[in-house]
Structure 1
């Protein structure tokens, strides 16, 4: 199926991804991982929640850790709109698509619309979030991998074509994609709003589930430092894949798992995609440089492990094609 043409004038204007709420078992253990190992900054905390931001972010939070009796699940993914009026337009849009909508109260956020995509992924949209003082030049605060900002989400979808159609309709643009030669269906696709390679990506598999959330870091050397830190502080088994350089996106990467199994990508050096007429790049599913430019295949866990969304049923993909998997 052809990649849909970009909708350059969508019904409402989404600026970028914003935040995700992760359900965790042991709030103290997760707090330690995200602050001392990853290096995020605490902006507020209670007995049930920890709010965190990265070093360049002025918004109150990009990660919410929520103590839950359903650990290893995702509560909601958040996006920021251009203005307040976009929230009302978004409500009308999602209602028109037959999706549930409600206005919810969220700490540190203004008016927030809760809805879901065509696969059931819970999404929330807001315009205003509490603004905090800049800390990007407070170098004494930098630790861990020195995360600068949240970069993207990647989700498993049992029907990537349907997911891409849905997000394309409200303004997400495809930058790169993989097509299954046998079925001519999309196996994976990368879509953006903010001018990088992706804000949201979809990978073929049992879904919907979150594959990973990614953080942008200054340089590949920060990733090497993180590996040394994890290997010597009891987290060596949490290192899943990498370091390496993706063929898709050209980004330098590392994948790690948090204490509840949420996959975190550490990511830098992708490319600019702001031109609205930029043509998407197509990759062969069997190209060994698709996953990793240097040819190293991903482990089986990378294609099978994901974290469910609370209360959302999953479906198995009908596509049988498989990329190269490491033995």
Structure 2
């Protein structure tokens, strides 16, 4: 199906993705992974919750770890431009028949909770507590030196439908993979903040979260993380990479946290600020779309994902197969 034209005047304005809330079955194990190994900074914690931020981030958190009985994702959160945009978003979702809920979230102002067209839980806010800058406190830099959260990637049963929904609220497509036979989308990358993507969609059982990505300074930081993980008990948590994507041109590594939530460590993609930038099309059978160089993705990369709490999943409409490592 044709990629929709950019919606430059959406019903409300989203700045960027903001944060994710993971349910962690063992909070101490998750803390050791995200703080001691990856290097995210703790901004607050108690016996049931840990708040984390990257080294360049001024907002209070980009990750929330919430203790719970089963691994899941409670919400994907996005920041809007103003308080007025929150009200506009509530009206827009209500008009579509989508239930809206105003929820209280620590360290945030008013927060709107809704679901997308496939049931993915989304939360929108405008105000979050600001913290002093720490990006020049180099004594804090350790692990992979994560600077900021970069994007989400989600499995969806219908990439075309997901792209249409997010296009309607102002996300713009930068790159996409099309199945040559059916002319349906296999995957698509969409942004708000001027990078390659704030959110991407991959064909598969969904909705589920495929991965959350963090931006790091250089590819060498990724190599350092591999050395660290391989000698501190996390060797089996390394799933894919390092390598360079054709799509996005980014240097990447995929690892799994103690609950199986997939994390991408990511750097070196490109800007997409111009509103009239044409999307780049890739064929599903082109091996360099997923891996410009490096080993092909393993089967787990196409099948394993994190469930959204309380959300049912559906089988994908598109049955075409990508290139999978033997």
For the criterion TM > 0.5, the same-fold answer is yes
TM-score (norm 1): 0.99
Corresponding residue SS for 1:249: helix
Contact preservation (8 Å) 2:109, 2:125: yes
Contact preservation (8 Å) 2:243, 2:294: no
Corresponding residue SS for 1:165: helix
Contact preservation (8 Å) 1:220, 1:268: yes
Contact preservation (8 Å) 1:11, 1:170: yes
**Deviation of the 1:295 alpha carbon:** 5.7
Task: Look up the match of 2:136.
Answer: 137
Contact preservation (8 Å) 1:154, 1:212: yes
The 1-side partners of 2:293 and 2:128 are apart by 41
Task: Look up the match of 1:303.
Answer: 302
For the pair 1:103 / 2:102, whether they are aligned, the reply is yes
- The aligned runs of 1:160-199 (5 Å cut-off) are 160-199=159-198
- The aligned runs of 1:74-153 (5 Å cut-off) are 74-153=73-152
For the pair 1:53 / 2:53, whether they are aligned, the reply is yes
The 1-side partners of 2:69 and 2:258 are apart by 15
For the pair 1:158 / 2:157, whether they are aligned, the reply is yes
Corresponding residue SS for 2:247: coil
The 1-side partners of 2:323 and 2:123 are apart by 35
- The aligned runs of 1:21-40 (5 Å cut-off) are 21-40=21-40
Task: Look up the match of 1:234.
Answer: 233
Gaps of 5+ in 1: none
Q: Deviations over 1:92-114 (max 9, x none)?
A: 11112221101000000000000
Report how many residues are paired.
Answer: 326
The 2-side partners of 1:97 and 1:219 are apart by 43
The 2-side partners of 1:297 and 1:323 are apart by 10
Task: Output the aligned Cα RMSD.
Answer: 0.6
TM-score (norm 2): 0.99
- The aligned runs of 1:276-295 (5 Å cut-off) are 276-294=275-293
Contact preservation (8 Å) 1:289, 1:295: no
Corresponding residue SS for 2:134: coil
